[in-house]
Each structure stands twice: as structure tokens, then as C-alpha cells.
Structure 1
Amino acid sequence: MKEGPDLRFSTYLSQRPGLIEYAARMLGSREAAEDILQEAYLRFVPKASGSPLRHKSYLFRIVHNLAVDMLRRKKLERRSRMEDTPPWAAPPPMPTPEETVLFCESVRRAMDIIADLPKSQRVALEMHRFGGYPPEQIAAHLGVSVPTVYRLVQTAVATLTLRLRQDPADHRPS
């Protein structure tokens, strides 16, 4: 008696529940197991030959190999995605509400400290750091030399840094 696709199809149907469970355990997903079984069916029915017992082991081997291939492919895709995105390109973590409040408080304190600076230091700092003006233009605006502009900005930055490091309760605007 010659074996045909009907015998292989009936073998496939009888083994299908076990094959799904087997593939789902390997892949961790019933949907992925269903996909594997469709591919296994396409490989099994036209090619199988031999006794029904050998059909069963051959069918399980096809499902096993396809599942291993899928797992390897997923692992490779994950690795390539991780390699494609350099760490510096990953989005920064969202700040917590507490961090946001602390940042806003620091900015408010910095603005208060800048407002308390002597006028020449404040203007030189604001023009240089916030306005992007070159030292020559700042010197012309303030009527001082370029080295004096550098000294004014440096002194203002040092004062700002030191006062920001102090305890907020120590700083009382005048």
C-alpha cells in the first residue's frame, strides 16, 4: 500500500495538540507555536515517507528545529537592536517629581544669586553665558578691558558656584 498525503495529514492532525504544547514550551508563546506548526505542516506533508511511527518523530524533529531557529533569530535580532543603539542615544530616564522640584528650586536660587551680584559681574555673566556675546563686545558695553571681562565672568561664576553649594537656608536674598 502506497502512503499518500492523507496518511501524513492524519498523522499531523493527531499529533497537533502535542506539537503545539511542545513548541509553546520551547518558545514561551502559543501564537509562535502555531506559526511554527504551520511551517512544519508545509515541510512534513509533501516529504514524509516511512511508517507512521517514524512520521511522528520526524514531525517532532521538524517542530524542534523550527523552534530552535526562531529562538536563535529572536536572540540575534535582540542583540543587533541593542548594538544598533549606542548608550548615549538611549532616551534619558524621566525625572521624578521630587527631582523636578529640586531642579526648579536650584534654578530659582541661581537666579536670586545672579540678581544679588554686583551689576558689572551680573551684566558680564549674563551677556557672556546667556547672550553669547564675545568678550570684546561685553568690554565695549561695560567700558572695561577684555581681561577685566574675563575676571568679572570668572568671579561671578565662582560666587554662583559657592553659594549654590551652601545650604539653601543659609542664602537669604537681601
Structure 2
Amino acid sequence: MPSLAQSLTALLVSEHAALLRRTTRIVGSLTAAEDVVQRLWLKVQQIEDAAVRNPRAYLFRLASNLAIDHRRAEAARQRIQARAETYLWGPIGAASAEASVIDRQALARVLDALEVLPDPGRTMFRLNRFEDKRIVDIAALYGVSTTTVENHLRRVLAQLRIARETS
């Protein structure tokens, strides 16, 4: 006597087109429905023998449940992705005029502070941040160690941070 898994697998093969139609209606896409039917096949392989009065109805109920789970998971994934994009990038065009003015003022303070910083820190910072020069190359240019360049950059960044935060 064939096991339940074997008979459900045979039924799945014979009802494949009907299962695809059912799951496509639920998930809204043939590609996603094919994934659901594939997961159904895997699930059927793991079913242990049990008393099932109507194997066809049981198989279609499993398919529907997997399709609903897929739809819910996809909706949750889209919500999470939208939230993550909002946190990362913020709503596009949502910056208020006041926030834009505050940001421009902070940028002006930072640029003014950069102009009055003593050399060689100011020049090292410009080379590193604006001209993409590596710290090793800047150290060779000035004839100093990379640690010295890093210390200059650290001091410049600290002074610029203070200038940015001062209102």
C-alpha cells in the first residue's frame, strides 16, 4: 500500500495545472505560484502517514495555506524594505525649508572653519577628502609618517565637528 506522501506526490503531479491556477490567484504571479507549488512538493515529501479522507482536498488546502503564507511574507518584506529605505534615505523631498536653511548654515560654518585651519592639517584634509589622496601618499608628499597625517586629519575633523554643531 502506498504511503500518504507517495499518493499525494502522484496527485500533485496529476493536479499540477490546477494547483498552479489556485496558487496564482492567491499570490498574484505565476512565478511566485511556481515557487509555492515547489514548496508544496517539498512539504508533501515530509508528510508522515496519517488518516486523510480526501487527499485532493488536503493537497489543495496545503497549497492554499502555503500561498497565503507566501503572500503574507512578501507583504511583510515589502513593509520592512519601505521602512528601511525611509530610515536610510528619508522621504524624498520631505526636507522642510527650515531644515534646508539650517543645513546650509551648518555647511557654511564648516567651510569657513576649514579656511582658517592652520596648515598642514588643512591641506592634508583637502587632499584626502576632496582629491581622494591616500594617507600613505600624503605622508610621502610631506615626508612624514602616516600616523602624523592621521593625527592632523583627526584634529581637523574634531574642529570641523565643533564648527558644524555651533549655532
Taking structure 1 as the reference length, the TM-score comes to 0.46
Structure having the higher Rg: 1
Higher RCO, 1 vs 2 (CA within 8 Å, ≥6 residues apart):
2
